[in-house]
Amino acid sequence: MTQTYDLIVRNGEVANHAGRGKADVGVIDGKIAFIGDLSHASAGEVFDAAGLTVLPGVIDTQVHFREPGLEWKEDLETGSRAAALGGVTAVFEMPNTEPSTTDPDALADKLARARDRMWTDHAFYIGGTHDNARFLSELERLPGCCGVKVFMGASTGTLLVADDDGVREVLSNVRRRATFHSEDEYRLVERRPLARPGDWTSHPEVRDPESAIMSTRRLVRLARETGARIHVLHVTTAEEIEFLADHKDVATVEVTPQHLTLDGDEAYERLKGLAQMNPPIRNNYHIAGLWRGVEQGVADVLGSDHAPHTLEEKARPYPASPSGMPGVQTLVPVMLTHVANGRLTLDRFIDLTSHGANRVFGIAGKGRMAEGYDADLTIVDLKARHVLKHEDMATRSGWTPFDGFEATGKAVATIVRGRVVMKDGELIGAAHGRPVRFQETLA
């Protein structure tokens, strides 16, 4: 008897761990049931992917969707809307909301807010603090938690853990891989007087490369001392890449599209506050170092660090302007442009956006296009030429640092657990995102 599928993605070029080639993808009950020739099979729904490339669903493991407490910048619905429109099928959201996500009630509140409002699947970080460090081994095991996030610099209040003793206590209590914003707070405080009012070109001087390198060296030393695994977010310096290459047994590495693409020598003059983020956009020397990290396999994942602020907030004169920029909707087209230009292979793009997340975070049933895995697919047109524009951004902030960027490649469909949630730039149906599960915390 011929098998009937819920969905067949037909006639596309499939790109996964087996290579690239013409194949169909059959879906039953939200899972991939078969990859191969399904020309004679029937399905309740057929997606014609002729001329398109079918990728494992893109996972963005660093977003700030600002809810609760900062919804004028973004919320879980608008942020995930931008993600789905950009081809992203799952997101991991950060704890620096108001209140911070540092206890079971705050995590449960986010999960409740996300249900039937988020277009993508999702998980949330628990913020590691001095106050909750001894409880982290329990907190990191809660359903819907992707792990512990620690700010060694760039944050305020209880989420800032700047001292070695505090970081050591966090690392001594976590059992999963802990995630870090690695800048040395003590050096940042010393260098604040270097900020030139109204001059964003001073931002990478205040938060200089040494601020990042010092912190990352400290972090690796403490990880080895405690026997912990760490994940270093948004690495920005050539020296960190070189250093972390010698410590891959304990440390995994994230890079971002903006740090790989925007050149600080011109971006601050052109974009002013829109170029401001932490750690900073840096110059071509460091961009080249990051690309070496991509090419040599030091970088494990690509995250957007989507962190929106309103245009009004960004227009404040430096250093009163806040740091952070949107990115979840532009991750795919910006990086596919690097693919089109020969800077990045499609295989490496897939590794950085799905397989890497699967490995680093131990995701259960996601991050690969294979039978038995969730049917999360990002379908792209690798040849589509288009210009990224502020007005096309679904994020509540309504802008992008890549306004005017001439892109080659775009997501034309986003499929989450066998459900087509975006097609041709339009969202379809209702939001049905669900929590991501992890191998280390399966019940």
pLDDT in tens, 342-396: 999 999 999 999 999 999 999 999 999 999 999 999 999 999 999 999 999 999 9
Helix 164-173 to helix 209-226 angle (10° resolution) is 40
Question: For the chain, what is the total number of helices (H) and then of strands (E)?
Answer: 15, 17
One digit per residue, the tens of pLDDT, for the chain of length 443 reads 468 999 999 999 999 988 999 999 999 999 999 999 999 999 999 999 999 999 999 999 999 999 999 999 999 999 999 999 999 999 999 999 999 999 999 999 999 999 999 999 999 999 999 999 999 999 999 999 999 999 999 776 789 999 999 999 999 999 999 999 999 999 999 999 999 999 999 999 999 999 999 999 999 999 999 999 999 999 999 999 999 999 999 999 999 999 999 999 999 999 999 999 999 999 999 999 999 999 999 999 999 999 999 999 999 999 999 999 999 999 999 999 999 999 999 999 999 999 999 999 999 999 999 999 999 999 999 999 999 999 999 999 999 999 999 999 999 999 999 999 999 999 999 999 999 999 999 96
Distance CA 286, CA 299 (A): 14
- Judge contact between 337 and 408, C-beta under 8 A: yes
- Judge contact between 25 and 32, C-beta under 8 A: yes
Distance CA 45, CA 148 (A): 39
Region of 154 please: left (phi>0), alpha (psi -120 to 50) or beta: left
Which pLDDT score is estimated for 443? 65
Which pLDDT score is estimated for 1? 42
Distance CA 146, CA 437 (A): 8
Whether the model clears a pTM of 0.95, i.e. scores above it, the answer is yes
Which among 95, 83, 32 is positioned nearest to 58, based on CA atoms?
83
Q: Structure tokens of 388?
A: 């990224």
Examine the residue annotation and report whether 305 is marked as an active-site residue of this protein.
Answer: yes
For residue 47, give every residue at least 6 positions away whose Cβ sits within 8 Å of its Cβ, in sequence order, or none. 7, 8, 9, 10, 379, 413, 415, 420, 423
Distance CA 299, CA 239 (A): 13
Distance CA 63, CA 325 (A): 10
Which pLDDT score is estimated for 373? 98
Report how far apart, in Å, the C-alpha atoms of 64 and of each of 10, 76, 94, 124, 221 are. 35, 9, 5, 10, 28
Which among 396, 385, 406, 302 is positioned nearest to 72, based on CA atoms?
396
Distance CA 409, CA 342 (A): 13
Which pLDDT score is estimated for 3? 84
> Over pLDDT 70: what percentage of the chain?
99
CATH classification for the domain delimited by 58-361, as one of 1.10.10.10, 3.40.50.10860, 3.30.465.10, 3.20.20.140: 3.20.20.140
Helix (H, G, I), strand (E, B) or coil at 133: helix
The single residue of 305, 351, 376, 381 carrying the catalytic annotation is 305
> b/e string for 206-232 if b means 16 or more Cβ within 10 A?
bbbbebbbbbbbbbbebbeebebbbbb
Helix 104-114 to helix 76-85 angle (10° resolution) is 60
- Judge contact between 318 and 271, C-beta under 8 A: no
Q: What is the 3-state secondary structure (H, E, C) of 282-336?
A: CCHHHHHHHHHHHHCCCCCEECCCECCCCHHHHCCCCCCCCCCECCCCCHHHHHH
